[in-house]
Chains A and B, each alone.
Chain A
Amino acid sequence: MADLCAVVGVGQTKHASCRADVSIAGLVREAVDRALADANIGIDDVDAIVIGKAPDPLEGVAMPELWLADALAAHGKPVFRVHTAGSVGGSTAIVAAQHVMAGIHGTVLTVGFEKQSDGNAMWALSVPIPFGMPVHAGAGGYFSPIVRGYIKRSGAPSHIGAMVAVKDRTNACKNPYAHLHEPDWTLEKALESPMMWDPIRFVETCPSSDGAMALVIMSEERADKHAGPKAWVHATAMRSEPTAFAGREQVSPRAGEMCAEDLWRKGGITNPAKEIDVAEIYVPFAWFEPMWLENLGFAPRNEGWRWVEDGVTDIGGSLPINPSGGVMSTNPIGASGMLRFGEAAMQVMGKAGEHQIDGARKAVGHAYGGGSQFFAMWLVSSSKP
């Protein structure tokens, strides 16, 4: 059986469309320094470092983990790099946690980053591979037919995406680190936003951000002696499936359902919607909130959009989703999953500031990547299992 571990430090950068004041190394270091300060430890107390980011073509730096060793103060320590496309921030945190759960290391530092301003993710992900199907339209072009499939299947009205967008942009105003601070969105205004990839409006898409997120994870033995709030890791789960195969369910991928089932089983959760206090889930296009509500097993099939419409996922609702503003307000791709995992930890540690959900005891961090093919999730709590 795996050992218990806990998040004891969380640190993120101020996210922006271009952090020209820092290099990639400086960006990573800003998050690392804040996580170490939050944990009240020094870099010398760290046994190993696990770093993750999205595909290298996004910045054009091959194997940045080698170049970043100085910035991570990694000399003499093991460094591991993780890559699972957009879910990488989540899977990186899981790999870091597993180093502790396996009893190999007592204190592990993990960081996810992306400096999107150094390149252009949309075109970097659209290289026309010979004999393959060209995408040429970025993530929005890939996901819009899937969103259309959800709308057709569920009968959702066309304003649901705009509702999610307004909620997340409004929530982000309570998060000082969020990239977009746009307090003036209304549903009426959002519905006038230009159609970008029908049925996805411009306001229903995430920004391109520079940013990083870092976590400090400790063994039970060390965390017990460590002063300050902790987020105990009750369960982690990962699943994957191929991008394309005949008969694949793209609206609610089987890998996502299996990942959630595994998470609930390991965490002893029988009624997720009732037992989970808050969730940070990976919503780069607004419509994915109701889609993932169903895929995760929170809402019944075809009912996720009703939860959005009824305000269930608002900060004051019974299942707040993305009180930080989520990916819809901040998207440094390689960090976005770890931001979800870290924000979930912050909620149960009581460190979420203005976007804190009162009394949050159990929270979920969720990330997905590729063509909805990689899933990573964790369940954290203010108390031990």
Chain B
Amino acid sequence: MFTAPLVVAYPYKRTVGTLLSRFFQSLQEGRLEGTKGSDGRVYFPPAEFDPVTGRQLDEWVTLAETGTVVTWAWQSAPQPDQPLERPFAWALITLDGADVPLLHAVDAGDMARIRTGSRVKVRWADERSGGIRDIACFDLLEGAS
């Protein structure tokens, strides 16, 4: 049977609007800001529209750089362009003050050191450009869990 290669490569950009622009700006400036929903839940990353009522959200909450691992999976052989070059954990992390977890990387060093409930802290990237990778990864808080 015949086949033919088809490579679709094409540049896009994403306009994020006023609300998410503030989020990315705050990351670049080294702050963690989420939005508060109608039921009081705090979203990080921020939700643009309330998942309950659909209302546009505009109440901001500044969050701590610490949080708790909700669940995790071990990346034993990191791939190119992943957050870390040595084995690490993908984790859902609820920041202190937030109610909904975000997905990020934890530089735990060894799989035996991380568990659900581990306490973690943001490690900021040396150079920040206004994106989720301005958070380089999370570090385990020694002895805190």
Contacts and interface: CB of A to CB of B under 8 A. Distances in A.
B54 interface: yes
B47 interface: yes
Interface string A42-78: 0100000000000001011000000000111111000
Main SS of chain B's interface residues? loop
Contact of B54 (A43, A117, A118, A119): A43
B48 A124 contact: no
Interface stretch (B15-23, B25-33, B71-79, B100-108): B15-23
Contact of A29 (B6, B52, B56): B56
Contact of A73 (B2, B13, B54): B54
Contacts of B50: 70
B12 A60 contact: yes
A18 interface: yes
A118 B6 contact: no
A127 B15 contact: no
B48 A26 contact: yes
Nearest to A129: B6
A73 B49 contact: yes
A131 B3 CA distance: 10
**Interface residue tally of chain B, by bracket?**
20 to 34
B51 interface: yes
Nearest to B47: A70
Most chain B beta-carbon contacts within 10 A, residue among A22, A26, A123, A130: A26
Contacts of B14: 23, 118
B12 A23 contact: no
B82 interface: no
B1 interface: no
Contacts of A23: 14-17, 19-20, 48
A292 B32 CA distance: 55
A119 B48 contact: no
B15 A19 contact: yes
A21 B22 CA distance: 11
A22 B49 contact: no
Contact of B48 (A21, A25, A120, A123): A25
A74 B50 CA distance: 11
A120 B10 CA distance: 9
B4 interface: yes
Interface in A221-265: none
A115 interface: yes
A135 to B, nearest CB: 14
A123 B10 contact: yes
A195 interface: no
B4 A130 contact: yes
Nearest to B20: A23
Given A21-B17, A119-B10, A75 B51 contact: yes
Contacts of A129: 6
A115 B12 CA distance: 11
Given A130-B4, A131-B4, A22 B54 contact: no
Interface of B: 2, 4-6, 8, 10, 12-20, 47-56
